[in-house]
Amino acid sequence: MKPIHLVVVDDHALFRAGLVGLLSDMPEFEVVGEAADGEEALSVIRDRKPDVVLLDVNMPGKNGLEVVRELRPHEKCCIIMLTISKEDDDLFGAITYGADGYLLKNVGPDELRKAIIQVVNGKSVLSPEVTRQVMHVVAGMQSVGGEAILSARELEVLTCLARGMTTSQIAGELFITENTVKTHVRHIMEKLNAANRAEAVSKAAKMGLIRLGN
């Protein structure tokens, strides 16, 4: 059987070398590239076309989240974040940008081996330590009272509102008319049961629909 091709991205040289060594001992895998930062990662991944990328989040320069955002949707490789970070921004950022897995670095070699095989088979993987955060957000979304969750376009408008943009600015950003923006805003406020735009943004942030500060 053809081995699964891997690229390992981590700025900690010793950890990366150890990890590459462990993966090289597993017959299912072949490590076809390594990178120590985001820029190098993009170049190596585009060049080697691996099946799976193991990607650190916190790196100098371009971080792991930016790498995921730039790779998607063009590169078809699976991406597993391998990090010490349990921060909401990193976890939900990675999921939003299209990562296939989010594993903490306390994972054991055999769990990592299984996770890599799972993502290749079209599944997603999460460390048990972060599933609660994801479930919390999903629970918040369900508490909308059975009403429809916001549409993708409504989420875009809401994100613009959170950035303090005016109706006119949002219309320009999303290439829609101001009236359409107002309609979306009205629907958002109805769905979130918010009295005004600020309350809609605040409620959406609490429910995890958007992240403030981005």
Partner 1 sequence: METPSREFQRRVLIVSSHPLFGLGLRRLLDSRPQTDVVVIGIVESVSEAMGAIDHLRPDLIIVDYDDETVSREEVLMRFIEGGERLRIVLLSLEEDHNDIVIYDRRTLLTSKIDDWLAEWPADMGSTR
Residues 6+ apart with CB under 8 A from 105: 15, 82, 83, 84
Tell me the residue ranges of DSSP E strands in the chain.
4-9, 29-35, 52-55, 78-83, 101-104, 125-126
Report d(CA 44, CA 67) in Å as an integer.
12
Count of residues touching partner 1 (by CB under 8 A): 19
Nearest in space to 5 (alpha carbons), one of 42, 54, 38:
54
From 109, 136, 139, 147, residue interacting with partner 1 (rule: CB under 8 A): 109
- Among 13, 135, 149, 212, the residue binding partner 1 under the rule CB under 8 A is 13
Q: Which amino acid is at 111?
A: E
Q: Is 25 in the site for partner 1 (CB under 8 A)?
A: yes
- Of the listed pieces 15-23, 119-127, 130-138, 200-208, which binds partner 1 according to CB under 8 A? 15-23
Residue 11 or 51 having the CB closest to partner 1: 11
Q: 8 near 14, Cβ under 8 Å?
A: no
Q: How far apart are CA 112 and CA 96, in angstroms?
A: 22
Interacting residue with partner 1 among 6, 9, 67, 107 (CB under 8 A): 107
Interface stretch with partner 1, choices 16-24, 135-143, 182-190, 196-204 (CB under 8 A): 16-24
Nearer to partner 1, 10 or 154 (CB): 10
The reply to whether 14 sits near partner 1 by the rule CB under 8 A is yes
Q: Does 11 bind partner 1 (CB under 8 A)?
A: yes
Residues 22 and 10: beta-carbon distance below 8 Å: no
Which residues are near partner 1 by CB under 8 A?
11-15, 17-19, 21-22, 25, 60, 84, 105-109, 112
